Amino acid sequence: AQSVTQLDSQVPVFEEAPVELRCNYSSSVSVYLFWYVQYPNQGLQLLLKYLSGSTLVKGINGFEAEFNKSQTSFHLRKPSVHISDTAEYFCAVSDIGNEKLTFGTGTRLTIIP
């Protein structure tokens, strides 16, 4: 069984400042990794995913994440945030060959004008 840990439940950041949202996972097998964004009262939108290959993955809205196998991490970063980035961010993992996604508890990103 796999698990996902998002240590930061809330992250306040000033507008145009950089941000990193942390995600660590555990699994006994190789995994796929995902970051999703959820705006209030909406479903989830995929930001980016790591399947294989380059460990640095670029996604939509200027976000990127780096897969670190040795540290079992997949932290999400953006060099300069915007007010519109205010949302809940979820890290998720699935075992390769298993369709189920396991989600972290989410990080609420609040952008301060």
β partners of residue 38: 44, 88
3-state class of 80 per DSSP?
coil
Q: What sign does the dihedral 101-53-49-56 (CA atoms) show?
A: positive
> Cβ distance 31 to 92 under 8 Å?
no
Shortest approach of other proteins to residue 3 CB, angstroms?
Answer: 11
How far does CA 7 lie from the centroid of its chain? 12
Q: Please report, as residue ranges, which positions from 15 to 74 form the binding site for other proteins (by CB under 8 A).
A: 32, 36, 41-46, 49, 51
Q: How far is the CB of 93 from other proteins (least distance, A)?
A: 12
Total chain residues near other proteins (CB under 8 A): 21
Is 101 among the residues that bind other proteins (CB under 8 A)? yes
Interface with other proteins (CB under 8 A): 32, 36, 41-46, 49, 51, 90, 94, 99-106, 108
